[in-house]
Homo-oligomer: A and B are copies of this chain.
Amino acid sequence: MIQTEILCQSPIFRGITSDGLQELFSKIHYQVKSYQKNELITIGGEICDRLLIIQQGSVKAEMTDYSGKTIKIEDMMAPWPLATAFLFGKENRFPVTVSATSDVEMVSIPKPEFVKMLQLNALILNNYLNTISTRAQFLSQKLKFLSFKTIKQKIAHYLLEKAGDRLQTVEIQQSQGQLAEMFGVTRPSLARTLGEMCQEGLIETDRRYIKILDKVRMNQLLLG
């Protein structure tokens, strides 16, 4: 049985009332499937030709490496949608194996029916476009960040981004360790590099505050 009070909390159905959703679902074909704890829901590599939304319970996503071992990627719970980025595009296969971590109910909407849904309701269309666009933008940002090779460049980019056009002093909300993890480097390496940048007169550090002394040279770091 479909539970629209839960589903309308899903990012895809945001802004739609439970009743509105009820009416919308009456116009399309869909299935509600139950899975017991530990049961497989999708297998990595399987064709992804339907939108799956968790209606009840929680699941985990795992990747299988070439030797057969599995690594946990993510935990998800109701009312989250699965694999929204793989329903369309060239690679229509689930990238992960999903299994139930509790008793689970999934709403399964075949792709053509979901397309119909998108055409019926402009809000859902906007929500879905926003979901995958935001994901593409996030990945794009992450990729740009990784394109900076040295730690100095990563720090410079991070600080200039945070400082914007005017500010000179930047406050770091995280600890040095968390910042290092975000940068994908080790903490001692980050500390060493910050120390070097101080010596070079690029910045001044005071606990969690970093003052940019020379924006021009900071920029030059990002070009070479």
Contacts and interface: CB of A to CB of B under 8 A. Distances in A.
A21 interface: no
A160 interface: yes
A222 B65 contact: yes
A66 B161 CA distance: 9
Contacts of A118: 118-119, 125
A31 interface: no
Given A143-B139, A219-B66, A86 B125 contact: no
A63 B215 CA distance: 18
A217 to B, nearest CB: 10
A214 B90 CA distance: 31
Contacts of A160: 66
Interface of A: 65-67, 69, 85-91, 95, 115, 118-119, 122, 125-126, 129-130, 132-137, 139-140, 142-143, 146, 160, 215-216, 218-220, 222-223
Which 6 interchain pairs have the tightest Cβ spacing? A89-B133, A139-B139, A67-B219, A88-B133, A89-B134, A88-B129
